[in-house]
């Protein structure tokens, strides 16, 4: 019997996150379920174009070449609110794009995130904001993929996967962010100084786990497998930390990752500078941030995912 618990990573992805289904979704919203079913049925053999999560997912699956045991490596599962009938186009498109995805659930409009625990998922990517927020509120690692159409440069042929993370509210919890927000309310002029002193005083106290801590752990496992592999054309993975922290608050972030046995290849401590130019320069195939303000910049030219977790999203 197959055992997903031995996988380095199990990722869930909705059909709208994996493929560009915006035209079909417009039919659903404007004309209803019956017209949507007819629309998809008449196009069952038309291959869907890649969606926002496609560059990340397709490159992640390449790491399965490093593992001889099918119970190891990466598993990607489609969790979709499509019906089994409309799901045929999704599965046909998966085959046409030669993606190593064999497991899928089609729930005919029912919520999909409750199945995350059964599949032992470290991440679920969806284009449904309500679904993602409900999952995160229940302590599950879900992210909202944002529309992204400038993706041709993300489909190049090199073997490197690049993943970028914010720190607070993503890899770590939001307790430090709450300290900063409280300082801003009490004394806006000195809030940054108060926050920095707090983080320096607590530098040797690791922060609590964030929603995507397990995802980074799995990515690090894939990095180790790649380093140990002797395959001549093996995939590689580079992880970036992109945070508004700066000295002296940087130390607690580094020590927290070390304490948890997690690593990143590059760390950007930007001290409140816009992340956009730096992200556009390194061109990650996916970027995770809990602050929607960092993701709504019209100049941002990468696939981005909002993690609606913690104090920055309490009012949503």
CATH number (domain holding residue 213): 3.40.50.1000
Q: For residue 278, what pLDDT is reported? A: 98
Whether residues 77 and 222 fall in one domain: no
- Number of domains observed in the structure of the chain: 2
Q: Tell me whether residue 98 is one of the annotated catalytic residues.
A: no
User: Domain boundary at 145, 177, 209, which?
Assistant: 145
- Of residues 295 and 187, which shows the higher confidence score? 295
Q: Per the residue annotation, which of 20, 166, 174, 290 is the catalytic one?
A: 166
Phi-psi region of 12 (alpha: psi -120 to 50; beta: other; left: phi over 0): beta
Q: For residue 190, what pLDDT is reported? A: 87
Whether residues 168 and 285 fall in one domain: yes
pLDDT, one tens digit per residue, over 90-114 is 999 999 999 999 999 999 999 999 9
pLDDT, one tens digit per residue, over 230-280 is 999 999 999 999 999 999 999 999 999 999 999 999 999 999 999 999 999
Q: For residue 53, what pLDDT is reported? A: 97
pLDDT, one tens digit per residue, over 142-180 is 999 999 966 544 556 689 999 999 999 999 999 999 998
- What are all long-range contacts of 133-140, with beta carbons under 8 Å and residues at least 24 apart? 133/308, 133/313, 133/316, 136/211, 136/307, 136/308, 136/309, 136/313, 138/113, 140/113, 140/116
Question: Could you tell me which of 237, 225, 245, 246 has the C-alpha nearest to residue 286?
Answer: 237
Q: For residue 204, what pLDDT is reported? A: 95
Q: What is the mean pLDDT of residues 34-57?
A: 95
Q: Which domain holds residue 302?
A: 160-313
């Amino acid at each position: 019997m197959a055992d997903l618990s031995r996988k380095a990573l199990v990722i869930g992805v909705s059909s709208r996150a994996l493929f560009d289904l915006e035209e079909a979704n417009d039919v659903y919203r404007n004309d209803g379920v019956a017209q949507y079913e007819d629309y998809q049925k008449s196009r069952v053999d038309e291959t869907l174009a890649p969606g926002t999560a496609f560059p990340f997912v397709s490159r992640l699956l390449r790491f399965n070449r490093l593992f001889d045991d099918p119970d190891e490596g990466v598993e990607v599962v489609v969790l979709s609110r499509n019906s089994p009938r409309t799901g045929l186009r999704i599965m046909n498109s998966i085959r046409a794009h030669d993606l190593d995805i064999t497991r899928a659930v089609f729930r005919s409009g029912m919520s999909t995130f409750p199945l995350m625990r059964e599949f032992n998922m470290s991440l679920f990517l969806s284009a449904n904001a309500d679904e993602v927020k409900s999952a995160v509120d229940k302590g599950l690692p879900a992210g909202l993929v944002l529309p992204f159409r400038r993706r041709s440069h993300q489909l190049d042929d090199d073997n490197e996967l690049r993943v970028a993370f914010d720190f607070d509210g993503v890899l770590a919890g939001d307790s430090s962010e709450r300290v900063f927000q409280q300082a801003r309310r009490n004394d806006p002029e000195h809030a940054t100084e108060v926050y920095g002193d707090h983080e320096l005083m607590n530098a040797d106290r690791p922060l609590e786990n964030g929603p995507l801590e397990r995802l980074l752990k799995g990515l690090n496992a894939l990095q180790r497998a790649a380093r140990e592999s002797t395959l001549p054309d093996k995939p590689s993975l580079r992880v970036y930390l992109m945070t508004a922290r700066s000295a002296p608050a940087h130390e607690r972030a580094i020590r927290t990752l070390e304490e948890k046995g997690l690593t990143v290849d590059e760390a950007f401590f930007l001290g409140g500078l816009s992340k956009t130019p730096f992200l556009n320069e390194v061109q990650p195939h996916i970027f995770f941030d809990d602050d929607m303000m960092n993701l709504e910049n019209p100049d941002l030219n990468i696939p981005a995912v909002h993690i609606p977790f913690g104090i920055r999203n309490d009012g949503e």
